[in-house]
A and B are shown apart, each in its own frame.
Chain A
Amino acid sequence: MGIIQHGDSSNSINNVNNIFNVTDNVSNAGNISNTSNTNAVSTMPPPGPVLREQDQYMPIANVIRIMRRILPPHAKISDEAKETIQECVSEFISFITGEANERCQSEQRKTVTAEDILCAMGKLGFDDYIEPLTVYLTRYRQSENERTSLRGDTFLKRGNAYGPMMIPPHGVAPFNAGFQEGMTDAARAIMGGYNHGAHPGGAAGSSSQQAPFDDNLDPFVEFK
Chain B
Amino acid sequence: MRQAGTYSGILSGGISGKTGPHLLPLARIKKIMKKSGEDVKMISGESPIVFSKACELFIKELTQRSWMVTMQGKRRTLNKEDVASAVMATDLFDFLVNLVSESGNSGEAPPSLGLDTFTSS
Contacts and interface: CB of A to CB of B under 8 A. Distances in A.
Interface of B: 3, 5-7, 10-11, 15, 19, 23-25, 28-29, 31-33, 35-37, 39-47, 49-51, 53-60, 62-64, 66-67, 70, 76-80, 82-84, 87, 91-93, 95-96, 99-100, 105-107
Query: Which among B19, B29, B39, B83 has the highest number of chain A CB atoms within 10 Å?
Result: B83
30 contacts: A49-B106, A58-B55, A59-B25, A71-B63, A75-B67, A76-B78, A77-B77, A78-B77, A78-B80, A81-B66, A85-B83, A88-B96, A90-B32, A91-B95, A92-B58, A93-B33, A93-B51, A94-B36, A97-B36, A98-B36, A101-B39, A110-B41, A111-B43, A117-B50, A129-B58, A133-B50, A139-B11, A141-B46, A143-B6, A165-B6
B78 A93 contact: no
Contacts, number: 200
Contacts of B57: 129, 132-133
Chain B contact residues: over half helix, strand or loop, or mixed? Answer: helix
Given A98-B37, A111-B44, 20 more contacts: A55-B28, A65-B15, A66-B56, A66-B59, A66-B60, A77-B78, A81-B80, A85-B62, A91-B99, A97-B37, A98-B36, A101-B37, A112-B40, A125-B91, A133-B53, A136-B53, A140-B46, A143-B5, A147-B5, A218-B45
A110 B42 contact: yes
**Interface residue range, chain A:** 35 or more
Interface of A: 48-49, 51, 53, 55-59, 62-63, 65-67, 69-71, 74-78, 80-81, 83-85, 87-98, 101, 105, 110-114, 116-118, 121, 124-126, 129, 132-133, 136-137, 139-141, 143-144, 146-147, 165, 218-219
B6 A137 contact: no
B76 A74 contact: yes
Contacts of A69: 60
Contacts of A143: 5-7, 10
B98 to A, nearest CB: 9
B55 A84 contact: no
Given A74-B76, A76-B76, A111-B42, A132 B33 contact: no
